[in-house]
Chain A
Amino acid sequence: MNNPTSSEIELKLLIEAIYLKYSYDFRDYAGASQKRRVLHALRQLRCESISELQAKVLHDPDTFMELLQYLTIPTTEMFRDPDYFLALREQVVPFLKTYPSLKIWIAGCSTGEELYSMAILLKEEGLLDRSIIYATDINPHSLDKAKKGIFSLERVRSYTANYQAAGGKQSFSDYYTAAYDAALFDRSLCENVSFADHSLATDSVFSETHLVCCRNVMIYFNHELQERALGLFHESLCHRGFLGLGSKESIDFSGHANAFEPLVKAQRIYRKR
């Protein structure tokens, strides 16, 4: 391996400074995409170097909040990977229906696209009224946006095909009100949603759950942090509880591999042994 460049050293120091000052722990995030996001933030925040950004971040919490928006990855869509939601509907929901009440954890919910997809699915399966959904993220701005349930109309329209491919039973537009270029999602979808600031890197388990969905979050973690997150999910899940991961995520090479069995392997849906 070649020696770290100056900018890589600066990056490491910035991440350490953020942890010491604000307790946000990005130290075990995968390096390549983190570097890309910091370099992008540099340009947007008009800093010449990462060291200059570090000084600003240390002395100005507002700059940190701005940087946090770049460090976290809000890119997501509703019913991303429709086959995953179809598999949830066909192969997990029948088990969920056997519980009198349900607790579901959307870990790393970002701006809420995954959350609304899940709420719509639960509603159509008659489970929403007896479910409590915990939607957690480390970014307070993302959580606020998720709570508001307002998305760009253009993007929402592009999710319609996903919704249908995911086995949607209604017309997707039944779930939102369009106004100008925005789509406001039905408030009732979030009646039983508890939004919370929670870090998979530093916080512990807060509730027993029947289903944990954490998709395209752990790809940004290094192996150690992935192990920590999977440990939290395992601890939170009830006996024979379900875990849904992103299409590029797997527990096969994890120390927790034996604690789960694949339920729908292709869609990365696992069940606690």
Chain B
Amino acid sequence: MANVESAQRITAESSGENLEEKIKKRNIEAIVIGTSAGGIKALLGLLGNLPQNIPVPIIIVLHMPESRETRLAEVFQHHIATKVVIAEDKDRIKPGRVYFAGPGYHLSIERDRSFSVSCEDPVHYSRPSIDVLMASAADAYGAALAGILLTGANQDGAEGMARIHEMGGLTVVQDPAEAEIAVMPKSALDLFNPDFVFPLQEIQKFIFRVEQC
């Protein structure tokens, strides 16, 4: 609990505004989440209690070995009431869904809020890359976006989160003290000051607040 309190204190000092105000000010239309090592466990904790009908879609890049087939959606569907799908090229983003980027391709969001995939070179050795998803989501949603960066072993996602911040979106970074692997959240904190640095429990509350569950 000490971590929780200290993180909240840091946040309150650096932000000046509380969570309620920050969420209220923006009409958040999508949540993007990036994570790698330790991510499966963290995500199961975050999303496990989500109800079936979420008004704000959640779009996730979870670094995985570049195998050709993935059971990611099935694995998470087993634990989550919300519909879990792999994001497909040209699909319109719909509420009520948790989307995962499939392996071997970058996932982007177009300005018309549909997905596109590409097989350009990996970014930070990662394809899909969190930076790629987040930067494109920031362009598509502007301030109406929340970005969350969790545990992970490389710096992918730091620039993407900074881009969301720059475009006026809300940014939440997992408290590195709590993260299973701190490299990813630390890289983001080295680059910019996010709106909140939260432990998972608070991030879960944040998501529920955005979804108004």
Residues of A within 8 A of B (CB): 1-2, 4-5, 8, 30-33, 35-37, 73, 75-76, 81-83, 216, 219-220, 223, 226, 247-250, 253
Contacts and interface: CB of A to CB of B under 8 A. Distances in A.
Interface stretch (B54-62, B109-117, B172-180): B109-117
18 contacts: A2-B143, A2-B144, A8-B111, A30-B110, A31-B111, A32-B109, A32-B111, A32-B116, A32-B139, A33-B116, A35-B136, A36-B136, A75-B120, A83-B68, A216-B119, A219-B118, A247-B68, A253-B90
B185 interface: no
A250 B91 CA distance: 11
Contact of A32 (B68, B102, B136): B136
Contacts of A36: 108, 120, 132, 135-136
Given A248-B88, A249-B89, A32 B117 contact: no
Contact of B119 (A2, A35, A37, A75): A75
A73 B111 contact: no
A247 B140 CA distance: 25
Contact of B118 (A33, A81, A83, A250): A33
Contacts of A82: 68
A230 B199 CA distance: 49
Given A248-B89, A248-B105, A253-B90, A37 B139 contact: no
A219 B119 CA distance: 9
A31 B116 CA distance: 9
Interface residues of B, number: 29
A159 B142 CA distance: 41
A37 to B, nearest CB: 7
Contacts of A73: 118-120
Interface string B113-146: 1001111110000000000100110011111100
Given A1-B111, A73-B120, A75-B119, 19 more contacts: A1-B113, A2-B142, A4-B111, A30-B116, A32-B108, A32-B109, A32-B110, A32-B116, A33-B116, A36-B120, A37-B120, A220-B118, A226-B90, A247-B68, A247-B104, A248-B89, A248-B102, A249-B89, A250-B89
A248 B102 CA distance: 9
Interface string B76-117: 000000000000111000000000001011101111110011
Interface of B: 68, 88-90, 102, 104-106, 108-113, 116-121, 132, 135-136, 139-144
Contacts of B106: 33
Contacts of A223: 90
Contacts, number: 70
A223 B115 CA distance: 12
Which of B105, B139, B141 has the most chain A CB atoms inside 10 A of its CB? B139
B93 to A, nearest CB: 12
A159 to B, nearest CB: 14
A253 B106 CA distance: 21
Contacts of A219: 89, 105, 116-119
Contacts of B68: 81-83, 247
A76 B110 contact: no
Which of B108, B116, B132, B143 has the most chain A CB atoms inside 10 A of its CB? B116
A220 to B, nearest CB: 7
Contacts of B119: 73, 75-76, 216, 219
A2 B117 CA distance: 22
A83 B117 CA distance: 20
A38 to B, nearest CB: 13
Contacts of A253: 90
Contacts of B117: 219, 248
Nearest to B88: A248
